[in-house]
Amino acid sequence: MKSSSMSVTFLLALSVLSNVSVGLIFLSCSSKETKPGQTAAGTAATATANNGVALSSTMQKLKNALENLLPDLADSKGFQDPANHDRLQKEIGDLAAIASKVSHNPIKEKMDPSFAFLSEGFNEEINRASEAFNTGKVEFARYSLMNVNSFCIECHTRTSTGPAFDSAAIDQKLSKLKPLERGEFLLATRQFDEAAKQFEAILENRQERFQFLEFDRALRYVLAITVRFQRDPVKTEKVIQTIKSSPQAPFYLKQAALSWEQSVREWKDERKKAGKKAPTSDELLAKAENLIKKGRQEQVGISDRSGDVDLLRGLSELHQLLVTSLDKNQLGHALFLTGQGYEAIRDLALWSLHENYFESCVRRVPHTTWALSCYKSLEESLIMGFTGSAGTKLPYDVQLRLTELETLAKPETIPEEESREHRTK
Ligand code: HEC
């Protein structure tokens, strides 16, 4: 289900072999923290008080724990060496303990709904790794831990909020890592500029052809930074030029780059025309809808990436909206579009995110037309996902969940007796 840098296929294979369940996690909550000095439409809950401080120190601890563990993760032999077992066990246990604080942080009630399921997924991934390590499946634990970064990164690049740190010189401990791994660590710890440099170096590398997976991931990360977090068309344009002139970029990405160029042109035009007045939620929603629609239309075939710039822009707007107070109709609409956006983006690292949004939509605005649309998309995705690899039958727990969600999605039926009472009153 999830994967890291150079191990996409390997991990996918492992997941199938060891029958790791597809973690579909559902929880719900409302808005998300916005730091002062950051733009957010209708800056809702500014949860900087006690919760914010607690989250920030938990995050700093996560950073330290990851920093300690990473060099070991990069070294397969050392990781398996019994001499390191006790120390690693302790470090993984520490990481798991801190991760569980993230998912239990009361701040999640005030955040974008994705905070809840991303923190749950993050927690699960670490627990799975910890359990694997403790039962001797050391190599599996190592791959699983390498994927933990994806959660940090997804949370931190949802939109243009939160702190960005400058990097000191790369720590000695991290020098063992490959450029992609180093970039992932820097991005996971919000050192955006330095992370972008690592990824750009991979994109500019003219020696190693056919490192497609690495190239593809580096590109995804750079675009997550320049489009979603920094919202910077000029930097995005530079990346596109790099792809166009790269002798090692695969053809499908060069093709996509042509479409991205057009997206960036439109982005710049929009900026020129934009008025000074802050847009309303409805205006933002319309803009996001347009971007997601356009991104989906630009895709030719399911693995095509031509829509990525528009999709990422749309998602950045949607996450910004999801921290504000929306009425039911707006919330349902926003969650539906977010699900569609992630579905189209198809990021292998966290490939079932769209299902989380569709599910959260059904739960947050039950018995509405949005709930029905979201349910339909979720059902389709699950059926497509489970047929193919594991036969044609949905696992029992998934069947149960679908039944529950279907009831929530459909129009509310008033029980016979109650409706009779209503009539007689
Ligand atoms: C569920 C979402 C989520 C996950 C998972 C997550 N973070 Fe964060 N992180 C946040 C949020 C929210 C902030 C606060 C910044 C903001 O307002 O967006 C933050 C802030 C930080 C900060 C800055 C803290 C400060 O000093 O203000 C660091 C460092 C950090 N995270 C590291 C990590 C690392 C390392 C991981 C993974 C091992 C991780 N985070 C996983 C959501 C997450």
Ligand 1 binding pocket includes 116 (Cβ within 6 Å): no
Is 183 exposed, middle or buried, given 0-12, 13-18 or 19+ CB atoms closer than 10 A? buried
CB-based contact 285:321 (threshold 8 Å): yes
Atom of ligand 1 nearest to the CA of 118: 1
Ligand 1 binding pocket includes 348 (Cβ within 6 Å): no
Q: Which residue's CA is the nearest one to ligand 1's atom 35?
A: 63
Ligand 1 binding pocket includes 115 (Cβ within 6 Å): yes
Whole-number Å distance, alpha carbon 149 to ligand 1 midpoint, is 11
Whole-number Å distance, alpha carbon 14 to ligand 1 midpoint, is 28
What are the CA-CA distances from residue 212 to residues 218, 243, 301, 356, 397 (Å)?
A: 10, 13, 19, 28, 36
Atom of ligand 1 nearest to the CA of 107: 12
Ligand 1 binding pocket includes 249 (Cβ within 6 Å): no
- Tell me the pLDDT of the chain (425 aa) as tens digits: 333 333 333 333 333 333 223 333 333 222 333 333 333 333 333 344 456 678 889 999 999 999 889 888 888 899 999 999 999 999 999 999 999 988 777 766 667 888 888 999 999 999 999 999 999 999 999 999 988 989 999 999 988 888 888 877 666 777 878 889 999 999 999 999 999 999 999 999 877 766 788 999 999 999 999 999 999 999 999 999 999 999 889 999 999 999 999 999 999 999 999 888 989 999 999 999 999 999 999 998 877 999 999 999 999 999 999 988 899 999 999 999 999 999 999 887 788 899 999 999 999 999 999 999 999 999 999 988 877 655 667 888 889 999 999 999 999 876 665 555 555 44
The sign one gets for the Cα dihedral 259, 268, 234, 296 is negative
Give residues with Cβ within 8 angstroms of 176, minimum separation 6.
71, 74, 75
Ligand 1 binding pocket includes 66 (Cβ within 6 Å): yes
Ligand 1 binding pocket includes 118 (Cβ within 6 Å): yes
Ligand 1 binding pocket includes 189 (Cβ within 6 Å): yes
What does the pLDDT read at residue 423?
52
- Give the mutation target among 31, 53, 59, 146 for probing the ligand 1 site: most ligand atoms within 8 A of CB: 59
Residue 348 DSSP code: T
- Residues 63/66/70/76 CA torsion (nearest 10 deg): -170
Give tens-digit pLDDT for 56-94.
899 999 999 998 898 888 888 999 999 999 999 999 999
Please name the residue ranges forming H helices in 74-84.
76-80
Question: Which among 193, 161, 198 is positioned nearest to 178, based on CA atoms?
Answer: 198
Alpha carbons 34 and 381: distance in angstroms, whole number: 32
Question: Which among 372, 370, 369, 335 is positioned nearest to 355, based on CA atoms?
Answer: 335
